[in-house]
Amino acid sequence: MFRYDEPTDGQRTRLRIVGDDGNTVIYPGTTCDRANVPGFGRAARALVFGGQDLGMPRLSDTPKHPLELAVRAGEPMVVGFSAGAVASPTCPKAPPGYRMVCNSPIGHGPTCVTTRSFVPESGVDYEAHLDFGAGRCQLDVYALTTRRDGTTERRAIAAALPSCPASSKE
């Protein structure tokens, strides 16, 4: 898997990954989550380098070593997570006279795969939050806004599921 190629020119803004950043994939410049878009890749710096802090406003629950990325403003992007790879569910009971065969190995494959698409605005910081575990698999995207008293708050934004045209080779 390639590493996400952060933009270094043009209009940019910042995105903080909260949750399982080791399995986060960024698809820039598209609403489609197919792997062959220019610049796509895994945003896994936090696990290897201890995070990347671009100076985004902090909230009380901001991770100590956040993973903050530069993203292109004014262009669509997709954020995707795959997480888990935990024990397979228990094998269901077989009906009388039958034997159930459950052979999915423990730890095989992700147990949570979720993606969202949105268009970041210039001058606005964003957070992508993965809520995963005990039956939860949800990805929410928030804009960080400044209140009149100077404090920062999260505001949920409309982040759609990715859309890939049927004939697209994106």
How does pLDDT run across 50-77, given as a tens digit for each residue? 578 888 999 988 888 788 999 999 999 9
Collapse the DSSP code of 166 into the 3-class scheme (helix H, G, I; strand E, B; otherwise coil) and give the result.
coil
In this predicted structure, the answer to whether residue 105 has a pLDDT above a threshold of 60 is: no
Under 8 Å between Cβ of 17 and 65:
no
Burial of 64 (0-12, 13-18, 19+ CB in 10 A): exposed
Burial of 166 (0-12, 13-18, 19+ CB in 10 A): exposed
Q: Is the pTM of this model over 0.85?
A: no
In this predicted structure, the answer to whether residue 21 has a pLDDT above a threshold of 60 is: no
Q: What is the pLDDT of residue 86?
A: 46
- Given phi > 0 = left and psi -120 to 50 = alpha, else beta, which region is 22? alpha
Percent above pLDDT 70 for the chain: 74
In this predicted structure, the answer to whether residue 98 has a pLDDT above a threshold of 70 is: no
How does pLDDT run across 120-164, given as a tens digit for each residue? 999 999 999 988 877 778 899 999 998 999 899 999 999 998 888
- Top pLDDT among 22 and 108 is at 22
Name the residue ranges covered by the structural domains of the chain.
12-89+106-156
Under 8 Å between Cβ of 36 and 1:
no
